[in-house]
Structures are given as structure tokens and as C-alpha cells.
Amino acid sequence: MFTLVIGGASSGKSAYGESLIARTGAEVRYYIATMEPYGAEAAARVAKHRALRAGGGFETVERYTNLSALDLPGRGAVLLECLGNLAANELYGPAGAGEADGAYRAVMEGVAHLRRQCTHLVAVSSEVCTGGRDYAGDTDRYLRLLARIHRALCAQADNVCEVVCGCAQYYKGKEPEW
């Protein structure tokens, strides 16, 4: 089963995604962390997320790009956190795909590869496309890439929800009952 969870900053989307994976009953749970800790602020955020999920039964796998080359050691439930970071890493990172079409293919192929290796996939992503219309620099290219990824994964997902203030609203499917 594939569930796409989208939400704004500090909406509770990560905690909700973790709760979905916990309810699968899967003995093996992977947390694919895509936020590359550039600088002190990012490192602090990564440390905060690690502390929040301590004791949650997740095996953390840090993977910033090229998900299609990631082979999990066993079959289980996977939380992919977060598509927004993954897309940015593929688009801008030194190890990424580089241009928008390549970044799109890398993310989509990576998600498909994960789906083949797990019983349940919950992919969490940031809703960043509702903050305005005029963006400086290259931001618009990133936002278009992420929106394209969201549309494609929404079409593939069994369930799609948005989390606001910790509450999930399902737009496709329903909250999984495992």
C-alpha cells in the first residue's frame, strides 16, 4: 500500500506518517531520511527528528539522492521523509541528477524502486506551492518540479492526504486500517 502525506511546515505531517507506519504492525520499519544536514541549523533539525523518533522501532537510512540504487536489507514498511528535500537534492546537490527532468526521473524511479522492496510505503512531502506567486532566483523551477512529483505520485498512490495542525484530510482513498 502506498500513502502520500503532504503538509506545510510544522503541520504534523512527519509525526502522522510515522504513526501510519507504526500501525502497519510491520516488524521491520525503515525511515529513509533525505535531509542532508548542511550547516548548524540543518544539523540541529536532523538531531531533533532523530530524538523524536528514538524508540519508535525505525531503522534510519540516510539517503540524499539516487534512491533507485538503495537496496534495503529486508522487506518491511518504509517511511520516506521528505520528498521536498529529495527533489531539492536531486535538482541542486552535487550528487544529484542536476536538471529538472533528470531530477524528476530520479525521484520517480527511486520511489518505484522503494515500492518494490516494501510492504507499505508512506511518503511525506512539504506543501510549498501555496505561499505566493513571485519567487526570486531559481525557486520557481524547484516548486514546479515538486508539484510535478506530487501530481504523478498522487495518481499512483492508494491514499493521499494533507495534514494541517496534526489532522489528516484524505483526498484520495482513506486512512489505512492495518
54, pLDDT greater than 80:
no
Rounded mean pLDDT of 120-124? 98
Domain ranges of the chain: 2-172
Confidence bin at 75 (pLDDT 50/70/90): very high
What is the C-alpha separation between 61 and 33, in angstroms, rounded?
6
Confidence at residue 53, expressed as pLDDT on a 0 to 100 scale: 73
Pinpoint the alpha helices (H) of 36-177. Answer: 39-53, 83-92, 100-117, 139-156
What is the C-alpha separation between 125 and 166, in angstroms, rounded?
14
What residues contact 106, with CB distance under 8 A and at least 6 apart?
65, 66, 67, 68, 90, 96, 97
User: pTM of the prediction?
Assistant: 0.92
Report domain 2-172's class: alpha beta
Confidence bin at 133 (pLDDT 50/70/90): low
Q: Which three cell numbers stand for residue 96?
A: 544529484
126, pLDDT greater than 80:
yes
